[in-house]
Structure 1
């Protein structure tokens, strides 16, 4: 019996029950999930019901049953078949058993209860509710898993053609489709065409729905002809997966999501050459500017809930789009009647790193440093390096060569096996790594996360800090679980800068960031008055900011 049924039966069986008593009982029965056990429920209403009915009490709701003050759990009991309650009651009557259910025994029309007992019970209930609320305050809300959905207008002709296998072309046309994530519409009334054998790059700002669109295509939530085979590789391609691409039967459509993340320079060059010879259709999401200038034959630009198509690589896209926007603006300015809408401009992305004061050198240095994880595994030998407040150092090398190990020695997280590490006493190092992004509490909003790590400030200060990294408006109040990878990275940057560091060590900071945000990061690094040590595979960012190159190689 559910809560609503119990309340309605109380009203039906005892129409003359005192209204104040009924409201109290109704309040308890309608909020049974707030009670930890049936004993708590009985304590709240059992005594009052006993006063009214002078005898026994049996109430069953949800997962608890209370019978004459004895509580029983209803959990994990599964009925073999539906139970007809009227038949059960008749069966009990035939056996001349005493029926002790509140719902089966007639009582006086007017019920009475001790007013003091009612007040005492209400006070107890309020106390328990306040305690529960107090206990809950420190517990973050559960992660709300929003679902991605797609809808599409498909003609009867296309459905018939597809069902009969008549549409055997390898070209793909996805018409008149919408994509949403939870209640948020990402793409509306869009159409894209993927010609067989061409290589398409899907580009756009973080959080607009690029990864979601790939998933909708791979799951065939959008209409893809049934004879089209699809291979979808999500996020970064590891070494094993790169080999796997060559070993599987070639799909008609290959979907890649940020394939260059976590790859070193050598692997990226190999992947670029490999994809240049890809024989079927390729649709790739990437924010690697150099990769986008080499691999794609076409660009699909996702913006303002629509997708525009451009021929050529990313450089051609920028030129063509710039001309297109100028023409649209001229048409808008020259119109006699306000028919055309003004050209929508994407907001400029900004990164604001904290202001800092200069420190006198030496700042951070390693003298004659050796490091080994074990006696037979020497990683570094006689390393002499130093960094200043003007440093813009980029560390490059193959994966596994020891780049991250070197960063941890600079940070002081690993002790040199031999030699010395010197660090200025006023140096405040901020360390960014993808691992830190993955360790964020996904149940919290960006504002709540900053509040938990840096308590005591007003909400506007947290919002200003997040806004300095492009996390503003409703985005700052959404659960982190609902944000894109790039948006989570921006939140991690805002946390990192909240401690007002004067030196940055950044390990692959561009993973998941869109092109505009990478550009903004480069500008912010160049304007920063402190030192920067950077591990990155993003060639454009390296050329933009680095003045010194450290190459890590195997011994």
Structure 2
């Protein structure tokens, strides 16, 4: 479908692509991955012809239609449904032609309309719009009434409805809620043509993509399978690359030693020259450079508070008019990990403000621990940063008594080194700004972290670092995110915001994903009967909290022990692999002895890790059964 050959592109003082080549199969769903700033969006612009390539070529089939979502749809008086229907250019043209076509041509037009299933277009458009969060009442509203974020969804809906031969999507979930991301994941899986998706969402990359295209060092490598399969294949590829490099370098060193020794001996000169030619022919294999991702610092509270941290009984909250949320009957303890679900506008952010203390309850009883410290991260904080500030300016205000060295050290721990410490906020990437704010929010070791879409600007490795930090953190967490993987791995319980209240949700993320997709299908079957919000599945009754046995710490201990066991096993396997090389014993006895000592230590660490894992797993099972 798409062929890229020896692509070269330079811009802004750097080389983005250096002889990159790849061939993407027809109808493949490809996830484009790589570090932030490596050139993924630039590749899309090159494919679309918005930038001029410096060398090589990009080839597509003749008359292939390319679709992308570059910007929000303009605010026009055209209705939402008609705006999406116009994205099918051929259908719109045929319908227009019918109005002026001579009788002898009308039969041909009708035949083509039947062939492209034009009669079903409105219901298909309604299904897409419903899946992206629009209600039946929205279909007749003019585009001018929607905000910029919703018009971005319209642009996405139009691209999906048009079904181009090649669909290019750049971080499509960034402007979707979890419900929209779940629906999009299912939709992309069934997309009838080729699609390339830039995403840091592991679930979309695993469940919607059958290939992963990795952009690194100016090259493009295509892997079959989802993201988990890509990680396994790439790790094995890097291991083989390092093993081959070590072997070639040893061979090079051996021949060079001969040359150095006998180069000036007449009897050995010819052999030395022969070895010099052999050295010149040896391929140069780069050493494997491990990409480092700075961890997040989420210090746990030193002194746990007596339960509950928070108790709501019959609470209503709003902004002076009709309450946004009412009849809230919830309780939060120190070991709770709550995943907050619900469509945009259901009141999730209002609830976050209430819990963070930024909004007062209008009625009911809200009991809050007097010593409760809450750390609250939300996307508006990133937008509110002064673009002329630097991270150093911000940390100076937060740590007025600290020395300059201490402030810079703290920023370095955040992953913002010397160069970034004095870079203005305007010149920091979205990921760097999010990393700065996430670490600042947690600096005071809060008892509760409220995270509202913390991953929007983070790449996959940074999301994994955040996950590790959250699992080590020993306070309570309320998580609002469209990142399904993060939700599944952090949240112990799910609450659903719907129908003007928040209640516990019966089921897991798989159940919720099915509910979201079924709701969109129902809207497509009978769009005139779909209400703005359908009631969720029957919520489970709030369990008696006095009998609740906290499982969070035990679960996290078991997960950490399992990860430590995997690392210990991998370390021992690497040493055993090195010991299989007979040259180690024959040519480097000292290294062989060192490997032997390291193996004994690795074996001891493995035994200790196994014991800890067994103990932690048994403790977790016991807590779950209590």
Tell me, yes or no, whether TM beats 0.5.
Answer: yes
- Please list, as runs of the form range in 1=range in 2, the aligned pairs for 1:129-208 lying within 5 A after superposition: 171-180=2-11, 182-208=12-38
2:318 and 2:325 in contact (8 A); partners too? yes
2:184 corresponds to: 271
Q: Which residue, 356, 367, 372 being the options, matches 2:313?
A: 367
Looking at secondary structure, tell me which structure has more strand per residue: 1
- SS of the equivalent of 1:542 reads helix
Q: Distance in 2 between matches of 1:282 and 1:483?
A: 30
Matched, 1:254 2:177: no
2:343 corresponds to: 398
Q: Distance in 2 between matches of 1:186 and 1:457?
A: 41
Distance 1:453 1:211, change over 3 A: farther
1:393 and 1:532 in contact (8 A); partners too? yes
Greater mean alpha carbon deviation, residues 291-300 or residues 277-286? 277-286
1:351 and 1:520 in contact (8 A); partners too? yes
Matched, 1:220 2:22: no
2:309 and 2:333 in contact (8 A); partners too? yes
Distance 1:239 1:324, change over 3 A: same
Matched, 1:321 2:234: yes
- SS of the equivalent of 2:498 reads coil
- SS of the equivalent of 1:300 reads strand
Q: Distance in 1 between matches of 2:388 and 2:39?
A: 21
- SS of the equivalent of 2:174 reads coil
1:262 and 1:508 in contact (8 A); partners too? no
1:507-543 CA-partner distances (Å, limit 9, x unpaired)? 0111121111111111111111222111122222122
- SS of the equivalent of 1:337 reads helix
- Please list, as runs of the form range in 1=range in 2, the aligned pairs for 1:149-548 lying within 5 A after superposition: 171-180=2-11, 182-218=12-48, 219-222=50-53, 224=58, 229-234=65-70, 238-248=152-162, 250-335=163-248, 336-337=251-252, 339-357=284-302, 358-373=304-319, 377-548=322-493
2:592 corresponds to: none
1:114-139 CA-partner distances (Å, limit 9, x unpaired)? xxxxxxxxxxxxxxxxxxxxxxxxxx
Looking at secondary structure, tell me which structure has more helix per residue: 2
Using the TM superposition, give the Cα deviation of residue 348 of structure 1 relative to its aligned residue in structure 2, in angstroms.
Answer: 4.2
- SS of the equivalent of 1:302 reads strand
- Please list, as runs of the form range in 1=range in 2, the aligned pairs for 1:64-143 lying within 5 A after superposition: none
Q: Distance in 2 between matches of 1:491 and 1:554?
A: 35
Q: Distance in 2 between matches of 1:305 and 1:455?
A: 43
Distance 1:228 1:483, change over 3 A: farther
1:200 and 1:297 in contact (8 A); partners too? yes
How many positions carry a matched residue from both structures?
Answer: 383
- Name which one, 1 or 2, has greater alpha-carbon Rg: 1
Q: Distance in 2 between matches of 1:495 and 1:540?
A: 24
- SS of the equivalent of 1:365 reads strand
1:210-253 CA-partner distances (Å, limit 9, x unpaired)? 234334443133355596554332488843233322444x4443
Q: Distance in 1 between matches of 2:463 and 2:441?
A: 17
Calculate the TM-score normalised by the size of structure 1. 0.63
Q: Distance in 2 between matches of 1:187 and 1:258?
A: 21
Q: Distance in 2 between matches of 1:255 and 1:195?
A: 15
1:207 and 1:487 in contact (8 A); partners too? no
Q: Distance in 2 between matches of 1:436 and 1:216?
A: 33
Calculate the TM-score normalised by the size of structure 2. 0.56
1:154-192 CA-partner distances (Å, limit 9, x unpaired)? xxxxxxxxxxxxxxxx53325331344x43545444334
1:178 and 1:190 in contact (8 A); partners too? no
Q: Distance in 2 between matches of 1:246 and 1:302?
A: 25
- SS of the equivalent of 1:398 reads coil
Structure 1 portions without partners, runs of 5+: 1-169
Q: Which has the higher contact order (CA 8 A, sep 6+)?
A: 2
Using the TM superposition, give the Cα deviation of residue 195 of structure 1 relative to its aligned residue in structure 2, in angstroms.
Answer: 3.8
1:76 corresponds to: none
- SS of the equivalent of 2:324 reads strand
Q: Distance in 2 between matches of 1:498 and 1:186?
A: 37
Q: Distance in 1 between matches of 2:180 and 2:22?
A: 31
RMSD: 2.7
Q: Distance in 1 between matches of 2:160 and 2:293?
A: 40
Distance 1:195 1:216, change over 3 A: same
Structure 2 portions without partners, runs of 5+: 72-148, 254-283, 501-626
Q: Distance in 1 between matches of 2:46 and 2:371?
A: 51
